[in-house]
Amino acid sequence: MAFNRIIQTATPALLGLAALAMASGQAAAEHRSFTIAAIEAKGGAAVEKEPFPTDPVPAGAGYGLHKPDQNGRWEIEVYLFTPSQIIVNQDDDVTLEFVGVNGRNHPTTIAGYDKSFMLERGHVTQVSFKADKPGVFAIVCGAHGPSMRAELVVLPRK
Ligand SMILES: [Cu+2]
């Protein structure tokens, strides 16, 4: 009876350990696939409801803050990769599917994995590789910095 109780309480702990082991890179190599959209998030308001922000946005084409138009509406926009973090285990076979949704084109590089391509609106660009190097690798659009940036995290195999 007491033994059964120990097993019952130990099992969730063991499952937790197994999940942790997988998260730390001990899982068998597998194929991992992600879809990453190039988007331009936009928002704005009328000045009579919300004043035009006085603090500047960071320099670079990734941000835009537009003064009130003839109707008094101002807008802010930011270019993004979404999701902006991809986590895989070392030796996984990775496919990243980039989808150009907003913005005409995005010259994109994945430093450390020697990937460089032009992502265009209306197109889907697939990039495949074996994640054989552990570390954190920047995925950068050269046109819409500094906001249009993601990272590939390759957890080391133990
Ligand atoms: Cu871009």
**Residues, the chain:** 158
| Residues, CB within 5 angstroms of ligand 1 (ion) | 106, 141, 143-144, 148
pTM: 0.80
Ligand 1: centre distance to CA 139 (Å)? 11
- The stretch 138-151 carries a mean pLDDT of 98
Ligand 1: centre distance to CA 149 (Å)? 9
Q: Note the pLDDT tens digit of each residue in 56-85.
A: 999 999 999 999 999 999 999 999 999 999
d(CA 67, CA 62): 17
Domain map (residue ranges) of the chain: 31-155
Give the highest mean pLDDT range of 7-16, 25-34, 69-78.
69-78
pLDDT at 20: 53
- Looking at the domain 31-155, which fold is it? Immunoglobulin-like (2.60.40)
d(CA 95, CA 27): 18
